[in-house]
Chain A
Amino acid sequence: MSGILETLGNLYESTLFVYGLVLLIVYALLAFFSMLAIRGYLQKNNDHQLDLLASSPMAPGITILAPAFNEGLTIISNVRSLLTLNYPRYEIVLINDGSTDNTMQLLIDEFKMVVVEYAYNAKIRTQPVKKIYKSTDPAYSSLLVIDKVNGKSKADAVNAGMNIATFNYFVCTDVDCILHKDTLLELIKPVMQEEGKRVIAIGATLRIANSCEFDEGVMTRMRPPRQLLPRFQEVEYIRSFVLGKMGWSYINCVPNVSGGLGLFDKEVAIRSGGYDHSSFGEDMELLTRMCRYAHDNHIDYSIRYIPKTLCWTEAPSTLKIFNRQRTRWSRGLAQLIYAHFGMFMNPRYGKMGLIIFPFNFFFELLAPLIEFTGVVSYIVLAIMGRINWPYAVLLLLFVYTYSVMITTISILWDQLSFRYYKSWKEVLYLCMTPFMEFLLYHPLIVVYSIRGYYYFLTGKKSTWGNMQRQGFGKKK
């Protein structure tokens, strides 16, 4: 019996060793690829190009879809922010998803909205649309508001917006996100510059808005969050977008375009069935289905990311809300892997089946479980007195220094490319965060992820919760 346990223990140890090694190699490769991708982006782009496109009659039209649910606190400044975007041909479709507060009334009063008879064609089934509004003020002619019955998900609201979108490309964002004024110009450029492939989705870097300053929905001063929890998230976003997504983008293997900001090919999105309202990770789910559709229909596609920060979003600043958010995300991941497991290691789905899906399965889905079992076995072995402490400390130190290095490299890429933040102090603040992240923040992620998997397995009911925003007011 003890022989079997010994063998199993050795097997577990060897598996973990290989697992850890592959993960470290993947991150090293991502760091290298992201450097190449960012360098390529910087070489190809300049501000003059944006001016050129902004004044071009040939710029493709874009529809912005912004779902809102009980956003009365911030809705006016956020719509104003969308109205100030610099692009020659766009419309804003705001979807009021059955808000129970005064969101709709505020919109009607502020933007002089009236009900119009609109030819709405439901290509994707959603909860019923009650009314459609347009503004009588020519200054807001690009704004359209859909008032619909609450669909209990962001997905249902965006699908209604997709049904009404005029243009071939749509940008999906959250109405509480603040966009950079050149967002549309930046997002459409990769579509227009891509050689030989159809770009079906493009994402850009998101940042945390918590300590930034805004005036009438326009970002006027960028700062890393002062509170620790949002600052951890800022660092995590930089690592995820600037290093992770850019690295994946370089080899055309982007696994997800964030729900906070992404530009999509409308035809492919609709033909793929739109967002799945039952999914907790609807953004990743849609992208997976779009890839699947593209493969099934022999569309040579690409998905790209750009390193520039174009969107600021309010991050959870309390553990309670953070827990809710991360539990939801991990549950969405588990749903996705379960629903599309047929793609796993399936050569029919190219890079999606052979690289993205296995990565998501092994290093996103299983990682918290492996970490958790690792910690448990560590404790058991410690109690049994079977730990070689000097070696254990060395291994821990290795993982710690490596994770700090990877995060610092992502901050470095970000700083070398765009030199965000005004003062040295702010950058220093950010650079110190990775040292604490491993010990304070990462364990939380592991716990919340496992909680999400548990909810997935037990089918616990959950809804599209409101994030209890603070709002982006002007600094007093």
Chain B
Amino acid sequence: MNIFRYAPLAIQLAMIFIVIATAGTLLAYFSILRSRYLGYRQDKRMSYLLPKVDNLIIEEVLTNPEVTETSYSDQLILNTEGFQELPMHKKWVREAITGRIMHFRRNVRGNMGQMLRSLYMQLDLDKDTMKKMKSGKWEKKVQALTEFINMDMSISDVTILPLTNSRNRELRAAARHAYIKLSKNEPFKFFDVVTEPLLMWDQVELFRIISSTEDIAVPNFARWITYSSNKSVVSFCLKLIVHYNQLPAVPAVIKLLDTKDHYLRANAINCLGKLRVPDVEEKLVSLYSSQPLHCQIEILKALGRISSGRYIDFLKQEFLHSTDFDLRKSAAKSLVKNEWIASQVLQELIDTANPENLRILKHCMNPLIKY
């Protein structure tokens, strides 16, 4: 003790830290040991439980003769005796069963999906989900919302709507997905109010939910193209317009070509090209010279996609006279896509092109090269 008392401050600190570091290291070892043990126990439990659960689900649902019935009734009582033999009073067992039902439901449709949903409810697993929903922890709420979405369980708009504006991004996103999937009123209502940008990830998740939800009332997305001030919503709606091939939305998309945001304009051009609207070609060509590079590339691509054959000369001029490599390549690709009418022009270009342009043409004509 005296050594410590009379030592300089640096040495005193060193002594304290030696004790702390040794204790910290021992604690870390103990934590590693504990975590490995818990993981080992969990693996062992699961390796015992999961095959049983899978077998029961296969027996009671996937190979159930009722599955072939043309319309399955929610009222059908499934035989859950096998499940009751499992230690259902334990939370981790119920969690594991919910996980497996969700796993199977992701991979099936129709009556099988409905029966899995019935099983989930008959085992009272929805009560666990509801408890999670009421939890104060955001991650529990997200888990609950994911389970509700997967099981297609209806929840009141009043419960979900406040969460769609949560400050927590994960919760906000999950609530929006749930709202679109489960709301019986206006599933796309939040598009009207969303102020912050939809991230690329949000768009992937929303797209999946929208495109995989059966019987969803698909609105005319031109509504948000015209009125939304949120650029990410507009951009996302353009993708949905392409996905649903919404030709009535074309006038709204054409109007969007006047926007000052050139990224959004490029998206609009891309959308029109993918919708293959021949009437817009003239407008696109007239805009061409005043556009930034990426919009010009989109215009050339759109002319290739539409492939009406009316702007072969324009594409040829761009291919021959543009100074930018990417523009020449895009023009060449679009010429090749118009080959049905431009074969003579292509041959002429091949015969007269300089080595670089010839290489571009051969690149675009080679079926082995995709991009």
Contacts and interface: CB of A to CB of B under 8 A. Distances in A.
Contact of A56 (B7, B35, B204, B363): B204
Interface in B287-343: 325-326, 329
A166 interface: yes
Interface stretch (B9-17, B127-135, B152-160, B178-186): B9-17
Interface string B79-95: 00000000000000000
B28 A119 contact: no
Given A397-B18, A402-B17, A408 B28 contact: yes
Nearest to A390: B3
A405 B11 CA distance: 19
Contacts of A382: none
Contact of A117 (B14, B170, B359): B359
Contacts of B106: 48, 51
B36 A419 contact: yes
A101 interface: no
A116 interface: yes
B217 interface: no
B18 A401 contact: yes
A53 B204 CA distance: 7
Interface size range of chain A in the complex: 35 or more
A241 to B, nearest CB: 18
Nearest to B368: A134
Nearest to A44: B170
A338 interface: no
A320 to B, nearest CB: 33
A56 B243 CA distance: 12
A419 B359 contact: no
B109 interface: no
A56 B368 contact: no
Nearest to A410: B28
Nearest to A414: B32
B203 interface: yes
A405 B21 contact: yes
Given A52-B204, A52-B205, A394 B199 contact: no
B200 A409 contact: no
Nearest to A435: B25
* Residues of B in contact with A, size category: 35 or more
B29 interface: yes
A379 interface: no
Nearest to B208: A52
B366 interface: yes
Given A52-B208, A391-B11, A412-B28, A427 B201 contact: no
Interface in A19-45: 43-44
A431 B28 CA distance: 10
Interface string B339-368: 000000000000000000011101110101
29 contacts: A48-B106, A52-B204, A53-B204, A56-B207, A58-B203, A58-B207, A59-B204, A114-B368, A117-B358, A119-B359, A119-B364, A121-B325, A121-B329, A192-B200, A194-B199, A195-B169, A196-B197, A391-B8, A394-B14, A394-B15, A395-B10, A395-B14, A401-B17, A404-B25, A405-B24, A408-B24, A411-B28, A411-B32, A424-B36
Interface of B: 3, 7-8, 10-11, 14-15, 17-18, 21-22, 24-25, 28-29, 31-32, 35-36, 39, 106, 139, 146, 169-170, 197, 199-201, 203-205, 207-208, 239, 325-326, 329, 358-360, 362-364, 366, 368-371
Interface of A: 17, 43-44, 48, 51-53, 55-60, 91, 114, 116-121, 134-136, 141, 166, 189, 191-196, 390-391, 394-395, 397-398, 401-402, 404-405, 408-409, 411-412, 415-416, 419, 424, 427, 431
A-B pairs, 10 with minimum CB distance: A401-B21, A117-B362, A192-B200, A119-B363, A398-B14, A192-B201, A166-B371, A405-B21, A134-B368, A119-B360
Given A120-B359, A391-B7, 5 more contacts: A55-B208, A117-B363, A395-B10, A401-B17, A404-B21
